[in-house]
């Protein structure tokens, strides 16, 4: 019996004399020297640029066959090379291998995993009993370019009693005789449309295989290829009377079923295929498995799945769609006879999640998680009535809503957008809510100014204004100012006294709507040095004007002596004073500081001071009158001058000197009676030099 031959074949494989298709041919051996060598646990023969694994001497559980040894490309595995390697559980076969010899892995009883698929256009030829007796092998994928060489015994996977899953890829044309003999756990197998022949006893003694679908491409089915075995361990060939063959009417499958008395179920090609969804929306990273339906109900086909844009969504062989990036893709399922069905998949980015809602000075600060692939985010709030309302696009992951109202609950949601402003994610329809309770303002600066202590604080969103408090020497906080501004200058300060302030928010009705800092903020008031704002030359001398300083009793004026030191010359409570102790054409320099009611200085001063050259103003004649002795002329006193020079002129004439005097009046007896006479006056020093200008128009009177 053939099955007996396969049973013993593995035991004698190392000594088999069967011809094996390997790259080192007889003609090559005659013309070139074959070199035998060892590489680690591998023995190999080499010729030209190629080598063949002859023997494996190791005991590793996981074995990787090299693709190159000592510069030789590994092309084949010799007959029995791994025979009876019972410790080996997995083996990796490189893409360079084209040939697997007779019984190469026979009796490797621990071998569980092996992949004989190769890349490119490599053709793998697998010879008789290559995996015979691999009783732990549970699954195998047979690539479409494999050719099984049935030299004598077949039985390539014979006796693989644990083998349950077999995938035969499209491209295989012949299922060799005795290929799966004694694979007693094999329950199902799909025959691709490329297969044209099933050879004798290909599935002999596959006792768990109860039905099979045969494509119309199969035109030859040999004797006992399906539905036969030793079902009762009687060492006799028996027919499985319950075996079912599914196939097309009028094909080799129907004929084989009829000839062997097996149940035959007619199948047909699909006329259409549909999907349970024609459109689908997924978030990135999520998956959904589409369900296909083929018509008619007895249609049998293979399916291919594809995506029009794999960067957006992929699909596996079972219709499982996985979202990769935002966008759209069309998923297509196609039957073997070209019928198709489509599903449009829209992929959104994951919905952003608001992670924090915090009351801040600027309003409610909204924070959310970063979503990979998102250009930006669109924020929405829920008004009192109606649905969500868009109010902000941003590329950041936080935003502070300043349009809040105290004690009102705000509700927000968010979604992702692309650079064109298109939404590319869903949103949380419930949203996240927060009652806005204004935070206590923070006094950011306490500055000493001329007006007192200037308080500055941060603006608080949504409030009408602010209430200021100070802490008296005894007792608690005392309210002293409501304002809508964010600064205020307290003029009610006292020098060298420490003032303490706090602040809270109010609404338009004056109700407090925030807490306050119970510790407050403190500042010792040291008055600023006054600033001389004006130095004016007047008839009385140089008039000094300075800014008022809050909280002080008065001011102390100083002038700079000829030796360079400051000399005190006036205390005053006013903010101006006229220095009459000036001298013409002399520059005077002043400074000023604050004093308390005891005359103690309480501020600094400007060490450079402010300077002014004193040029006396022209005197003004204040009175002209006729007397019995002549014309009486009176003028104002000018500070710092020695005296005055009086001039007269008549119509059409020029100015002539009348008198030098230290007085501020003079009676001109020399004025002509009945004539209009005009007077002017200027200042002189003790040497008689003029030190001021004069009024060129003068003042006129008619002498009586």
209-237 pLDDT, tens digit each? 999 999 999 999 998 999 999 877 888 88
SS3 (DSSP) at 6: helix
Q: Could you count the other beta carbons within 10 Å of the beta carbon of residue 36?
A: 10
Residue 211 burial (10 A CB sphere; 0-12, 13-18, 19+): middle
Alpha helical stretches, state H, 154-307? 252-260
Q: What is the DSSP string of 192-227?
A: -TT--EE-TTTTTT-TT--EEE--TT--EE-TTSSS
Element (H or E) spanning 9, and its range? helix 2-9
Average pLDDT over residues 525-550: 97
Give Dmax (Cα) for the chain.
176
pLDDT of residue 16: 37
Both tokens assigned to 187:
């329950």
Average pLDDT over the chain reads 92
Sign of CA dihedral 482, 488, 491, 497: positive
- The rounded distance, in Å, linking the Cα atoms of 501 and 444 is 12
pLDDT of residue 631: 97
pLDDT of residue 115: 74
Q: How many residues would you count in the chain?
A: 704
SS3 (DSSP) at 167: strand
Strands 487-490 and 279-283: unpaired
Q: Could you count the other beta carbons within 10 Å of the beta carbon of residue 54?
A: 19
pLDDT tens per residue across span 179-210:
999 999 999 898 998 999 999 999 999 999 99
Q: For the stretch 221-249, what's the b/e string if a residue is b when 16 or more beta carbons lie within 10 angstroms of its beta carbon?
A: beebbbbbbbeeeeeebeebeebebbbbe
- The rounded distance, in Å, linking the Cα atoms of 559 and 260 is 136
Does 454 score more than 60 pLDDT? Answer: yes
**Is pLDDT larger for residue 265 or for residue 2?**
265
Phi-psi region of 65 (alpha: psi -120 to 50; beta: other; left: phi over 0): beta
- The rounded distance, in Å, linking the Cα atoms of 563 and 557 is 18
SS3 (DSSP) at 496: coil
Confidence of residue 9 (pLDDT cuts 50, 70, 90): very low
pLDDT tens per residue across span 623-676:
999 999 999 999 999 999 999 999 999 999 999 999 999 999 999 999 999 999
pLDDT of residue 12: 35
Angle 569-570-574 (CA atoms, 0-180°, nearest 5)?
155
Both tokens assigned to 540:
């009385």
pLDDT of residue 150: 58
Give the rounded distance of the alpha carbon of 141 from its chain centre: 44
Contact 81, 101 (CB under 8 A): yes
Three-class SS string for 596-657?
CCCCCECCCCCCCCEEEEECCCCCCEEEEEEECCEEEEEECCCCCCCEEEEEEEECCCCCEE
Does 110 score more than 90 pLDDT? Answer: yes
**Is pLDDT larger for residue 302 or for residue 395?**
395
Both tokens assigned to 385:
């009535």
SS3 (DSSP) at 5: helix
Does 31 score more than 60 pLDDT? Answer: no
Confidence of residue 118 (pLDDT cuts 50, 70, 90): low
Confidence of residue 539 (pLDDT cuts 50, 70, 90): very high
Q: List, in sequence order, every residue forming a beta bridge with 656; answer none if it has no partner.
A: 648
Does 145 score more than 90 pLDDT? Answer: no
Element (H or E) spanning 28, and its range? helix 26-31
SS3 (DSSP) at 558: strand
SS3 (DSSP) at 13: helix
Both tokens assigned to 160:
């693989």
pLDDT of residue 185: 96
Closest CA to 614 of 594, 585, 634: 585
Q: Enumerate residues 6+ apart whose C-beta is below 8 A from 460.
A: 361, 438, 439, 441, 466, 505, 514
């Amino acid at each position: 019996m053939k099955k007996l031959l396969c049973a013993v074949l593995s035991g004698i494989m190392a000594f088999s004399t069967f011809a094996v298709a390997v790259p080192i041919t007889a003609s090559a051996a005659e013309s070139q020297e074959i070199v035998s060598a060892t590489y680690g646990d591998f023995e190999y023969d080499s010729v030209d640029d190629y080598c063949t694994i002859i023997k494996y001497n190791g005991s590793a559980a996981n074995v990787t066959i090299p693709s190159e040894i000592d510069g030789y490309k590994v092309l084949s595995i010799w007959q029995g090379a791994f025979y009876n390697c019972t410790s080996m559980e997995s083996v990796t076969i490189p893409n360079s291998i084209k040939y697997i010899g007779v019984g190469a892995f026979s009796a490797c009883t621990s071998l569980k995993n092996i992949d004989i698929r190769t890349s490119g256009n490599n053709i793998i030829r697998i010879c008789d009993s290559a995996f015979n007796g691999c009783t732990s092998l549970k699954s195998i994928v047979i690539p479409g370019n494999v050719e099984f060489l049935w030299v004598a015994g077949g039985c390539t996977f014979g006796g693989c009693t644990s083998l349950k899953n077999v995938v035969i890829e499209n491209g295989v044309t012949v299922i060799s005789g005795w290929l799966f003999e004694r694979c007693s756990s094999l329950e199902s197998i799909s025959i691709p449309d490329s297969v044209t022949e099933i050879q004798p006893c290909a599935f002999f003694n596959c006792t768990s295989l109860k039905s099979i679908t045969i494509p119309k491409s199969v035109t030859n089915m040999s004797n006992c290829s399906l539905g036969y075995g030793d079902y009762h361990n009687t060492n006799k060939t028996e027919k499985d009377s319950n075996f079912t063959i599914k196939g097309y009417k009028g094909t080799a499958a129907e004929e084989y079923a009829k000839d062997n008395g097996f149940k035959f179920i007619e199948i047909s090609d699909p006329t259409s295929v549909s999907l349970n969804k024609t459109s689908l929306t997924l978030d990135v990273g999520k998956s959904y498995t589409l369900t296909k339906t083929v018509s008619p109900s007895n249609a049998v086909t293979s399916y291919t799945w594809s995506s029009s844009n794999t960067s957006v969504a992929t699909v596996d062989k079972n219709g499982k769609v996985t979202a990769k990036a935002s966008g759209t893709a069309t998923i297509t399922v196609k039957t073997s006879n070209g019928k198709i069905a489509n599903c449009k998949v829209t992929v959104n980015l994951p919905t952003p999640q608001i992670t924090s809602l915090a009351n801040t000075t600027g309003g409610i600060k909204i924070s959310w998680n970063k979503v990979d692939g998102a250009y930006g985010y669109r924020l929405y709030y829920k008004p009192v009535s109606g649905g969500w309302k868009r109010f902000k696009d941003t590329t950041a992951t936080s935003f502070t809503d300043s349009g809040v109202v105290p004690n009102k609950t705000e509700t927000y949601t968010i979604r992702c957008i692309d650079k064109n402003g298109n939404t590319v994610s869903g949103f949380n329809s419930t949203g996240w809510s927060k009652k806005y309770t204004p935070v206590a303002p923070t006094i950011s600066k306490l500055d000493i100014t001329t007006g007192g202590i200037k308080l500055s604080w941060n603006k608080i969103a949504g409030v009408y204004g602010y209430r200021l408090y100070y802490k008296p020497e005894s007792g608690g906080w005392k309210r002293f100012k409501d304002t809508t501004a964010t600064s205020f200058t307290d003029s009610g300060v006292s020098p060298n006294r420490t003032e303490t302030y706090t602040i809270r928010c109010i609404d338009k009705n004056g109700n407090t709507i925030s807490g306050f800092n119970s510790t407050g903020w403190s500042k010792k008031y040291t008055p600023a040095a006054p600033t001389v704002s004006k130095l004016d030359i007047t008839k009385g001398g140089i008039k000094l004007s300075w800014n008022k300083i809050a909280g002080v009793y008065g001011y102390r004026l100083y002038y700079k002596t000829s030796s360079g030191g400051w000399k005190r010359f006036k205390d005053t409570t006013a903010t101006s004073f006229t220095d009459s102790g000036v001298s013409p054409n002399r520059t005077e320099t002043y400074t000023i500081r604050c004093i308390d009611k005891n005359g103690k200085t309480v501020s600094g001063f400007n060490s450079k001071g402010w300077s002014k050259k004193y040029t006396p103003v022209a005197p003004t004649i204040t009175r002209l009158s006729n007397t019995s002795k002549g014309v009486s002329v009176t003028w104002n006193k000018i500070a710092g001058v020695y005296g005055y020079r009086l001039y007269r002129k008549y119509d059409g004439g020029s100015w002539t000197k009348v008198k030098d005097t230290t007085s501020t009046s003079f009676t001109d007896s020399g004025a002509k009676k009945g004539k209009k006479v005009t007077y002017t006056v200027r200042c002189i020093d003790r040497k008689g030099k003029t030190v001021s200008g004069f009024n060129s128009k003068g003042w006129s009177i008619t002498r009586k």
